[in-house]
Amino acid sequence: MNKKEATKITGGLSAPGKMPEGSYNLPARACQTGAKLREIPGTPCWGCYAFKGRYNFPNVKDALARRLDSLGHPLWVQAMAVLVKGKKHFRWHDSGDLQGPEHLKKIFQLVDSGLRLEPLACGLASGSRVLGDWGVCSLESF
């Protein structure tokens, strides 16, 4: 698979100005936990920046929606591996969050495939739910 095909499958990567090598993000409105927490003062998601600024540009909203829609594609893991190969730093979810256990498992599959990244950040409003309710035993792969 080439990068053009991988971009079509995944919706592509984003290029936030403060990130050296890219990011993968989803619409903040699709945050299952964060969309609720953003209404509660004092929570990590209160006043979420991903509802402001450039995230509101039509082209950015379109890209975020494409990425969200791509998560069910059967070749998503392989396509993401093509896009992040050779990158040393990568940020998961500068906007948005994990969509459920299958999404997290796909990220683990990337790591298990030999992908070596130094994640600069991983936005997880899901918190301990990742380990408990989703039946994921360990984050050791990260």
pLDDT digits (tens, 9 = 90+) for 10-64: 999 988 777 778 888 999 889 888 888 888 998 888 888 888 888 889 999 999 9
Residue-wise pLDDT tens digits, 80-124: 999 988 887 778 888 888 888 888 889 888 877 766 655 444 444
Q: Residue 67 burial (CB < 10 Å; 0-12/13-18/19+)?
A: buried
**How many CB atoms neighbour CB 5 within 10 A?**
13
- DSSP for residue 15: -
Whether the pLDDT of residue 139 is over 80: the answer is no
- Cα of first residue to Cα of last residue in the chain, in angstroms, is 25
Which is more confidently placed, 131 or 106? 106
Name the amino acid, one letter, at 90.
F
The confidence band for 134, taking pLDDT boundaries of 50, 70 and 90, is very low
E strand intervals along the chain: 23-24, 89-92, 118-122
- The tokens for 127 are 């918190």
Phi-psi map region of 89: left, alpha, beta (phi>0 left; psi -120 to 50 alpha): beta
pLDDT of residue 18: 74
Residue 95 carries which DSSP code? S
142 — pLDDT class (breaks 50, 70, 90): very low
